[in-house]
Amino acid sequence: MSAPREHWGSRLGFIMAAAGSAVGLGNIWKFPYMTGENGGGAFLVIYLGCIVVFGLSLVMAELLVGRTAQRNPVAAFRHVAGSGWPAVGAMGIVTAFVILSFYVVVAGWTIAYMLFTLNGSLANPDATALDAVFTHLVADAWQPIVYAAIFTALTAAVVIGGVGSGIERASKLLMPLLLVILVALVARSVTLPGAEQGLAFFLVPDFSKVTGATFTAAIGQAFFSLSLGMGAMLTYGSYMPRERNLPADALAVVSLDTLIAVMAGVMVLPAMFAAGMTPGEGGAGTTFKVLPAVFDAMPGGTLFGFGFFLLLAVAALTSSVSLLETVVCYFVDEHRVTRTKATVISAIAVFVLSIPAALSSGLLAGMTIFGMTFFGLMDYLSSSIMLPLGGLLTAICVGWVVGPRAIDALTNEGRITASWAPLWLFILRFVAPLGIGWILMQGLIG
Ligand code: PHE
C-alpha cells in the first residue's frame, strides 16, 4: 500500500524523541507556576499521584496502540478498536491545534528572552524591573506575534525534515545539555538568601489548601506534561519497531519528564521567595520574571541565561514538533498529501490561531470568553478537558475493547516478563475511567 513505515534509529533515539516531546514548556514554564498557584507541596503530591496512577499506564497504552497499528491516531484507533473509535484520534488532531495556538506564543517569549539576555534588557535584577520587562513584551502589539511566527516556522522546518533525521538527532544532543544547565540553576536557586521558605513551600504539603480544582489542575498538568491524551505518544509509538521493550521505554520517558518538572520547581519557587514574590503572583510569566535574577547571581550569568533560554526554546521545539507531527502524520497517511504540503498548510493554520493568543496579554486582554482570554481558554480547554477526556477514552479502548489481548501485545507475546501487567489492565479498566471521570466532573461543576 505504501512504503514501509520509517522507524526510530535506536532505542536511545526513541526514548530521546519521546522524552523530547514530553519535556518542554509544560515542565519548565507551566509546572512551577501551576504549583505556586495551587498550594505548593500538596499540589506536588497530587501531581505525582496522577503521574504514577494514570500517567505511566496511559503512556504505555498510547504507545502500544501506535506500535500495534503502525498508523496515525485516527487509523490506529480504527485498527485496534473498530468503528466509532477513530473519533478519539480525530479529537486529538483538534487538540493539537488548540495546544499549538498558545504553545508557540510562549515558545516565542523564550526566543525574545534569548535576545534580552544579550542586549542588556535583564541587567536590572530587581523584581519590579523584571516584571516590567515581561509585561512590556507580552503587551506589545506585534513582537509576540513575530516571535510566535518564527517559532512556528522552525517547527514546520523540522517536521518537513522527517522523523528520524530531524527530531531524533536534535533530541539526543540537546536533552542532556538541558539537564546540565538545570542542575547548575537549581544549585544557585536553592542557595539564594530566603530560598529555604520556597523549598519548604514546594516540598512540605499543606493539604488544607486542596480543593476539587487542585485535582483538575494536577491531572491536566500531568497529561500536558506527558504529551498524553491527544495522540502524540501514539504517533511516536507508531514509529517504534515491534520487538522493543515498550514498558521499559515508557518508564524511562515518564521518569525523565517528572524529574525535569520537579527540578524546574526547585529552580523557580525558591528563587521566587528569594525575590520577595508570593507564589501565586507571577502567573504565566513566573519563570521569565524570576530566573533572570538567578542568572544575575551566578558567575557567567549572561552565558547561563542565554544557554538556558536557548535550550528551553529547543525543548519547546521538540515538543511542538510532536504536536505538529501528529497532525501531519494524519494528513499524509489518510489524505495522501505530501509531507511538505501538509506541514505548510497546518503551520499556517497554527500561525493564524496563535495571533489571538499572542495578543491575549495586550490588545485583546479585554476580550474574554467565559471570563478567560483566548490564551487562557485554549489552555483550559486542552489541559482541563480535552487531554483528560482523550486519556479516559484511550483507557477504555485499551482496557475494554482490546482487553486482555493488550497484555500479550505489551509483553511482546510473553517474551517480556511483566508480573504487574494485570494491574496495568485493571487501572485501564477501572481506576483510570472512574478516577479521570470523577476529576473531569469536578472541573465542570466547580
Ligand atoms: N508535553 C509538552 C510539554 O510539556 C507539551 C505537549 C503536550 C506536547 C501534548 C505534545 C502533546 O511541554
DSSP 254-308: HHHHHHHHHHHHHHHHHHHHHTT--TTSSGGGHHHHHHHHHHHTSTTHHHHHHHH
- Residue 5's pLDDT is 79
- Residue 1's pLDDT is 40
CA of 96 to the centre of ligand 1 (A): 9
- Residue 8's pLDDT is 82
Q: What does the block give as the cell for 213?
A: 480544582
CA of 22 to the centre of ligand 1 (A): 5
- Ligand 1 pocket check for 26: Cβ under 6 Å: yes
CA of 10 to the centre of ligand 1 (A): 22
CA of 107 to the centre of ligand 1 (A): 12
**The residue to which cell 535506536 is assigned:** 10
- Ligand 1 pocket check for 99: Cβ under 6 Å: yes
* Selection from 50, 48, 43, 51 nearest residue 206 by Cα: 43
- Ligand 1 pocket check for 383: Cβ under 6 Å: no
Asked if residue 176 lies in contact with residue 316, where contact means CB atoms within 8 angstroms, the answer is no
Asked if residue 141 lies in contact with residue 360, where contact means CB atoms within 8 angstroms, the answer is no
**Secondary structure letter of residue 162 according to DSSP:** -
pLDDT tens digits, 132-172: 999 999 999 999 999 999 999 999 999 998 766 666 777 77
- Residue 309's pLDDT is 96
Asked if residue 288 lies in contact with residue 106, where contact means CB atoms within 8 angstroms, the answer is no
Residue nearest to atom 4 of ligand 1 (CA): 26
- Ligand 1 pocket check for 24: Cβ under 6 Å: yes
Residue nearest to atom 6 of ligand 1 (CA): 227
- Residue 176's pLDDT is 86
Asked if residue 299 lies in contact with residue 218, where contact means CB atoms within 8 angstroms, the answer is no
* Tally of residues, the chain: 446
CA of 276 to the centre of ligand 1 (A): 31
- Ligand 1 pocket check for 323: Cβ under 6 Å: yes
pTM of the model as a whole: 0.96
Ligand 1 binding pocket mutation candidate from 225, 260, 314 (most atoms within 8 A of CB): 225
Q: What does the block give as the cell for 328?
A: 501531519
- Ligand 1 pocket check for 98: Cβ under 6 Å: no
* Selection from 304, 269, 302, 283 nearest residue 189 by Cα: 269
CA of 316 to the centre of ligand 1 (A): 8
From first to last of its 446 residues, the chain has per-residue pLDDT tens of 455 677 887 888 888 889 999 999 999 999 999 999 999 999 999 999 999 999 999 999 999 999 999 999 999 999 999 999 999 999 999 999 999 999 999 999 999 999 999 999 999 999 999 999 999 999 999 999 999 999 999 999 999 987 666 667 777 778 888 899 999 999 999 999 999 999 999 999 999 989 999 999 999 999 999 999 999 999 999 989 888 999 999 999 999 999 999 999 999 999 999 999 999 899 999 999 999 999 999 999 999 899 999 999 999 999 999 999 999 999 999 999 999 999 999 999 999 999 999 999 999 999 999 999 999 999 999 999 999 999 999 999 999 999 999 999 999 999 999 999 999 999 999 999 999 999 999 888 76
CA of 82 to the centre of ligand 1 (A): 27
CA of 224 to the centre of ligand 1 (A): 5
Q: Counting atoms of ligand 1 from 1, which one is nearest the CA of 320?
A: 8
Q: Which helix (H) or strand (E) holds 189?
A: helix 169-190
- Residue 57's pLDDT is 98
Ligand 1 binding pocket mutation candidate from 93, 323, 326 (most atoms within 8 A of CB): 323
CA of 126 to the centre of ligand 1 (A): 32
- Ligand 1 pocket check for 382: Cβ under 6 Å: no
- Residue 241's pLDDT is 87
- Ligand 1 pocket check for 221: Cβ under 6 Å: no
What is the per-residue burial (b if ≥16 Cβ within 10 Å, else e) of 403-430? eeebbebbbeeeeeebeebeebbebbbe
Q: What does the block give as the cell for 129?
A: 524591573
- Ligand 1 pocket check for 394: Cβ under 6 Å: no
- Residue 163's pLDDT is 66
- Ligand 1 pocket check for 319: Cβ under 6 Å: yes
- Ligand 1 pocket check for 102: Cβ under 6 Å: no
